Amino acid sequence: MNGQDGRINIDVSNYLDLKAKGAARVIKVDGVCHYATKRFDSTTGAAQSMLVPMNRDQVVAARLQQQGTLDALDAVLADIDAAKEV
């Protein structure tokens, strides 16, 4: 989750599903939080452990950005609904 450009570099859309299945979690390694999961290795056919360092500030920034998008969509929907009533 600690991309060079400040973006989250994992797909968080399926995090809750993976977490519920026990296939993803957040762990602390040497004082740093990591996203821990397993990824299928097509070469060996085995699941390989994957650790991605996480930065809480980047996650908060991504959440705020998404919230801004949701707020804008809500405004558009409100305008559409208001236009229907005219």
pLDDT range class, residue 28, cuts 50, 70, 90: very high
Domain CATH code at residue 75: 2.30.31
Tell me the per-residue pLDDT of 13-22, one tens digit each, with 9 for 90 and over: 888 899 999 8
In a domain, 30, yes or no: yes
Supply the range of the domain harboring residue 63: 12-85
Tell me the per-residue pLDDT of 59-73, one tens digit each, with 9 for 90 and over: 899 899 999 999 999
Which residues lie across from 36 on neighbouring strands?
A: 25, 51
Query: What's the domain count of the chain?
Result: 1
pTM for this prediction = 0.64
pLDDT range class, residue 45, cuts 50, 70, 90: confident
Task: Give the Å distances, CA to CA, from 52 to 22, 42, 76, 79.
Answer: 17, 20, 36, 41
Rounded to the nearest 5 degrees, what angle is found at the Cα of 53, between the Cα atoms of 12 and 66?
A: 35
**C-beta separation of 34 from 51 below 8 A:** yes
Task: Give the Å distances, CA to CA, from 55 to 4, 16, 31, 41, 79.
Answer: 11, 18, 12, 26, 37
